[in-house]
Homo-oligomer: A and B are copies of this chain.
Amino acid sequence: MSRDRSTRRRRRDAGAILQTGWREIENPLPPIEVLHPEQVEAIHNASLRVLEEIGMDFLHPEALRLLKEAGADVEPGSERVRFDRGLIMESMAKAPSSFTLHARNPAHNLKMGGNRINFATVGSAPNVSDMDGGRRVGNYEDYCNLLRLAQSLNIVHLVGGYPVEPVDLPPETRHLDAVLACITETDKFYFSYALGAERILDGIEMTRIARGLTEEQMTGEPSLWTVVNTSSPLRLDGPMIAGLMEMATRNQAVCITPFTLSGAMAPASLAGALTQQNAEALAGLAFTQIVNPGAPVIYGGFTSNVDMKSGAPAFGTPEYTRAALAGGQLARRYGVPYRSSNANASNTVDAQAAYESEMSVWGAVMGHANMVLHGAGWLEGGLCASFEKMVLDAEILQGMAEFLMPIKVDDAEIGVDAMAEVGPGGHFFGAAHTLERYENAFYAPILSDWRNYESWEEAGSVDATHRANKIYKQILAEYQPPPLDPAVREELEDYVARRKQEGGVQAA
């Protein structure tokens, strides 16, 4: 049972790191709602007005044809598409409210929807860092090591994009090696980039092979996901659209995430940025339903703001947190799963990284995000994947998961008899009530050090970031790849070899 105490079992044998078991996380608490219902409607109506009056650019001829056919108003000789609100809402009504995402290991399948929360790794960072090697450009070795961490950390439910871009691999075939590593180094659910049709088709085919499915079975079981970012304001680029269409056609999961940075790509007001986010998300989501009615989709919210003095993007700010919560209200307005993030803008794994991440995670969790992208490892506003940050985030996410555990209240738990036994002025260390609960009474951290100052100082005054460094290296040292049928591995390797021989993907 996922909500059972047994999920809290810990490994400490053989020096293994201490962590909670794999668990399916439900948020039993009502979401925090920062918008009044009439404000949700005002944003809803304004965003429909944006799509009716201003419209959105779809930079893909086939998409324009499909949209026109579906009844959208495509401006002749242009890529501008205006949507009647009826078309948007009819299309949205076809989107499923929940679905299952299938991992190579069925124990790692994910429910998307309702109150379920899934934490993903960082995705798409161009740089990578740890305390030993410093900051460096993304590369395949670090890429694989980040996947191994993701596989080993039970609180990480899925791979949320390439944790870091393996820039040392040639762009034409990079996606082949990258997807192969997702399959061999992890058995969790993973991601393919919507950078044109070909890359997505390779990702889908490799996933089909990995799971040993027919194409028909694969269509019945979403086994791959992608994020389609709008090019805010109000534009969807061609390669993204191409990837979206291939994914939606084959019933694979598409998350539409507008990148509405308030003050830069969106109005310098929360209400404005949320309206634009909603307009762009609705246009993208409606389009997937036009491509394939009923295809699994996720509403992505990523509204934050820039520092108006410098133009620098900020994350985990008060505005960000409110936008994350408001985004959940909007996604629920349309009955589709919601994606948020664990974001921060710090340049190093310090207190700022921690407090900004906490603000983001509270927004995601209490906004009832079903998917928390960049859950573990995100630094520098997404420009760097950090090994130490991944461990820090594991602690933050484990803590939130534990926080969501319902409090058990019954006579045995209350323990009036124990209080009578101990009596005024006594202590509970040796009480029977305590001894019964000794093992699993409380959350055991992966990173926090609760020793007193003297013991901590004697042990070298090691701060949280340096401890995270040690922990990530221990996890990698203990890593074991998940089992993979050698025949399947061979078939995958053959596929990759053949596609490389063909030259991979020509041009972006």
Among residues of B, the one whose C-beta sits closest to the C-beta of A440 is: B308
A407-B464 contact given A264-B427, A402-B318, CB 8 Å threshold: no
Decide: B355 and A442 in contact? CB cutoff 8 A.
no
Stretch at the interface among A194-202, A229-237, A248-256: A229-237
Cross-chain contact of A359 among B358, B383, B420 (Cβ < 8 A): B358
Decide: B403 and A321 in contact? CB cutoff 8 A.
yes
Task: Tell me if A395 is interfacial: C-beta within 8 Å of chain B.
Answer: yes
B-chain residues with CB within 8 Å of residue A305 when the two chains form the complex: 441-442
Among residues of B, the one whose C-beta sits closest to the C-beta of A466 is: B350
B-chain residues with CB within 8 Å of residue A80 when the two chains form the complex: 424
Cross-chain contact of A270 among B127, B310, B407 (Cβ < 8 A): B407
Decide: B54 and A429 in contact? CB cutoff 8 A.
no
Cross-chain contact of A420 among B53, B308, B353, B358 (Cβ < 8 A): B53
Stretch at the interface among A91-99, A333-341, A446-454: A446-454
Decide: B267 and A433 in contact? CB cutoff 8 A.
yes
Shortest distance between the CB of A329 and any CB in chain B (Å): 11
Task: Tell me if A410 is interfacial: C-beta within 8 Å of chain B.
Answer: yes
Copies of this chain per assembly = 2
Task: Tell me if A409 is interfacial: C-beta within 8 Å of chain B.
Answer: yes
B-chain residues with CB within 8 Å of residue A308 when the two chains form the complex: 438-439, 441-442
B-chain residues with CB within 8 Å of residue A55 when the two chains form the complex: 424
Measured between alpha carbons, how far is A384 from B447 in the docked complex, in Å? 21
Decide: B267 and A419 in contact? CB cutoff 8 A.
yes
Decide: B442 and A403 in contact? CB cutoff 8 A.
no
A461-489: which residues lie under 8 A (CB-CB) from chain B? Answer: 461, 463-465, 468
Task: Tell me if A346 is interfacial: C-beta within 8 Å of chain B.
Answer: yes
A35-B407 contact given A269-B414, A414-B43, A419-B234, CB 8 Å threshold: yes
Decide: A345 and B450 in contact? CB cutoff 8 A.
yes
B-chain residues with CB within 8 Å of residue A89 when the two chains form the complex: none
Task: Tell me if A111 is interfacial: C-beta within 8 Å of chain B.
Answer: no
List 12 other contacts, CB 8 Å, given A347-B456, A351-B468.
Answer: A50-B416, A54-B416, A266-B428, A267-B431, A276-B419, A305-B442, A317-B442, A321-B403, A350-B350, A355-B395, A355-B396, A359-B399
